[in-house]
Amino acid sequence: MTWSLEEADKTYGVSKWGAGHFSINDSGQLAVIPNKEFPSQDIAIKDVVDEMISQGVSFPVVIRFHDILRAQVRTLNKTFDDIIDEASYNGKFFGVYPVKVNQMREVVEEIVEAGQRYNFGLEAGSKAELLSVLAYNTNENSLTILNGYKDEDYLRLALLGCKLGRKIVVVIEKFSELTKLISLCEETGVRPIIGIRSRMTVKGRGKWESSGGDKAKFGLTISEIINAVELLKGKELLDCLKLFHFHIGSQITDIRAIKEAIAEGGRIYCKLSQLGVDLEYFDVGGGLGVDYDGTASTNDSSINYQLDEYVADIVYGLKQICDLEGVGHPNIITESGRALTAHHSCVITNIIGEIDTSSVSFDTQAIEGESHLVSNMREAEEEFDKLKNWQEVYNDTVKFKEDSLNAFKLGILSLVERAKIETIYWRILKKVAKYISKNEINFEQGEELEEFLSGQYLCNFSVFQSAADSWAIDQILPVVPIDRLEKKPTKRCSLVDITCDSDGKIDKFISDEEGIKKTIPVHELDKEPYYLGIFLTGAYQDVMGDMHNLFGRLNEVHVYAHEQDSKGFYIEEVIKGSSAENVLSTMQYNPQYMAFTIKKAIDLQIREGNLNPRQGVKLTDFYEDCLRSYTYLK
Ligand SMILES: *Cc1c(COP(=O)(O)O)cnc(C)c1O
pLDDT of residue 263: 96
End-to-end CA distance of the chain: 38
Predicted confidence (pLDDT) per residue in 446-494, tens digit: 788 888 889 999 999 999 999 999 998 889 999 999 999 999 999 899 9
CA of 619 to the centre of ligand 1 (A): 50
Whole-angstrom Cα distance, residue 534 to residue 430? 29
Judge if the beta carbon of residue 336 lies within 6 A of ligand 1: yes
The whole-angstrom separation of Cα 197 and Cα 215 is: 14
Cβ–ligand 1 distance for 285 under 6 Å, the answer yes
Query: Is residue 8 within 6 Å of ligand 1 at its C-beta?
Result: no
| Rounded CA separation 525/490 (Å) | 10
> Is the preceding peptide bond at 591 cis, omega within 30 degrees of 0?
no
Which of ligand 1's atoms lies nearest the C-alpha of 340?
9
Find the 249 Cα to ligand 1 centroid distance in Å: 7
Residues whose CB is less than 8 angstroms from the CB of residue 18 and which lie 6 or more positions away in sequence, other chains included: 294
Q: How far apart are CA 204 and CA 310, in angstroms?
A: 14
pTM of the model: 0.93
Which pairs from 356-360 meet CB under 8 Å and 24+ separation? 356/455, 356/456, 357/426, 358/426, 358/429, 358/430, 358/453, 358/455, 359/426, 359/455, 360/422, 360/423, 360/426
Crossing angle between the packed helical segments 175-188 and 222-234, to the nearest 10 degrees: 20
Cβ(288) to ligand 1 under 6 A?
yes
Q: Is the CB of 341 under 6 A from ligand 1?
A: no
What atom in ligand 1 is closest to the CA of residue 336?
A: 9
Residue to substitute in 76, 99, 101 for testing ligand 1 pocket (most ligand atoms within 8 angstroms of CB): 101
Query: How far is residue 323's CA from residue 617's CA, in Å, rounded to a whole number?
Result: 81
The HSE-up count of residue 601 (CA atoms within 13 Å, CB side) is: 9
Span 362-442: which CATH code? 1.20.58.930
Going edge to edge, which strands form the sheet with 30-32? 22-24, 30-32, 43-44
Asked if residues 302 and 291 have their Cβ atoms less than 8 Å apart, the reply is: yes
Distance CA(295)–CA(304), nearest Å, equals: 8
The shares of helix, strand and coil residues in the chain, as percent rounded to the nearest 5, are 45, 15, 40
> Does the Cβ of 511 fall within 6 Å of ligand 1?
no
Q: How far from the centroid of its chain's Cα atoms is residue 41's Cα?
A: 26
| d(CA 154, ligand 1 centre) in Å | 19
Residue 58 DSSP label: P
Four-CA torsion 433, 436, 439, 443, nearest 10 degrees = -150
Assess whether the C-beta atom of 338 lies below 6 angstroms from ligand 1: yes
Look at residue 215 in the predicted model and tell me its pLDDT: 67
DSSP state of 44: E
The string of pLDDT tens digits covering residues 197-246 is: 999 887 766 676 777 666 677 899 999 999 999 999 999 999 999 999 99
* Distance (Å) from CA 164 to ligand 1 centroid: 26
Q: Is 467 helix (H, G, I), strand (E, B) or coil?
A: coil
Taking the C-alpha atoms of residue 566 and residue 187, their distance in angstroms, rounded to an integer, is 61
Sequence-separated contacts (24+) of 102-106 with Cβ below 8 Å:
102/337, 102/341, 102/538, 102/539, 102/540, 102/542, 102/543, 103/129, 103/132, 103/543, 104/542, 104/543, 105/132, 105/136, 106/64, 106/66, 106/558, 106/573
Q: What is the Cα–Cα distance from 332 to 318, expressed in whole angstroms?
A: 9
Domain boundaries, the chain: 67-336, 362-442, 581-628
Q: Do residues 114 and 107 make contact, with C-beta atoms less than 8 angstroms apart?
A: no
Residue-level pLDDT at 205 = 67
247 lines ligand 1 (CB under 6 A): yes
Computed from CA positions of residues 221, 225, 226, 227, in that sequence, does the dihedral angle turn out positive or negative? positive
Length of the chain measured in residues: 634
- Pocket of ligand 1 contains residue 258 by CB under 6 Å: no
**Residue 119 CA, ligand 1 centroid: distance in Å:** 19
Which of 513, 389, 385, 493 lies closest to 441, judged by CA? 389
Distance CA 240, CA 246 (A): 18
Provide CB contacts within 8 A for 528, sequence distance 6+.
Answer: none
Does any ligand 1 atom lie closer than 6 A to the CB of residue 198?
Answer: no
Our mutation pick for probing the ligand 1 site, out of 100, 171, 217, 250, counting the most ligand atoms within 8 A of Cβ, is 250
Is the beta carbon of 287 within 6 A of some atom in ligand 1? yes
> E strands, 229-280, where?
241-245
Q: Ligand 1 center to residue 288 CA distance, Å?
A: 9
Distant-in-sequence, close-in-space partners of 425: CB < 8 Å, separation ≥ 6: 377, 397, 400, 401
Mind spelling out the 3-state secondary structure of 66-117? HHHHHHHHHHHHHHHHHHHHHCCCCCCECCEEEHHHCCCHHHHHHHHHHHHH
Chunk the chain into consecutive blocks of 10 residues (it has 634) and report each block's average pLDDT, rounded to whole numbers: 91 95 97 91 96 96 97 98 98 98 96 97 96 95 96 96 96 95 95 95 72 76 96 96 95 95 97 97 97 93 96 98 98 98 97 87 89 95 89 94 95 94 94 88 82 91 92 93 96 93 91 85 95 97 87 95 93 95 95 97 96 96 96 93
The finding on whether 207 has its CB within 6 A of some atom of ligand 1 is: no
Q: How far is CA 237 from the centre of its chain?
A: 42
Region label for 457, one of left (φ > 0), alpha (ψ between -120 and 50) or beta (otherwise): beta
Geometric angle at alpha carbon 371, from 367 and 375, rounded to 5°: 70
**Rounded CA separation 45/49 (Å):** 6
Our answer on whether the CB atom of 115 is closer than 6 Å to any ligand 1 atom is no
- CA–CA dist 445, 431 (Å, integer): 15
Single-letter amino acid, residue 214: D
Task: Report CA(100)–ligand 1 centroid distance (Å).
Answer: 8
Return the best residue to mutate from 149, 171, 196, 247 for the ligand 1 pocket (most ligand atoms within 8 A of CB). Answer: 247
Separation between Cα atoms, residue 244 and residue 247, nearest integer Å: 11
How far apart are the CA of 123 and the centre of ligand 1, in A? 9
Q: How far is Cα 460 from Cα 135, in angstroms, rounded to an integer?
A: 36
How many angstroms does the Cα of residue 381 sit away from the middle of ligand 1? 58
335 Cα: distance to centroid of ligand 1 (angstroms): 6
Residues 6+ apart with CB under 8 A from 9: 15, 23, 24
Q: Do 574 and 613 meet the contact criterion of CB atoms below 8 Å apart?
A: no
Q: Is 245 in the pocket of ligand 1 (CB under 6 A)?
A: no
Residue 535 near residue 486, CB atoms below 8 Å: no
Tell me the CA–centroid distance for residue 199 and ligand 1, in Å. Answer: 15
For the domain made up of 67-336, give the CATH fold. TIM Barrel (3.20.20)
Ligand 1 centroid from CA 148, angstroms: 11
Cβ(204) – ligand 1 distance below 6 Å: no
pLDDT of residue 443: 82
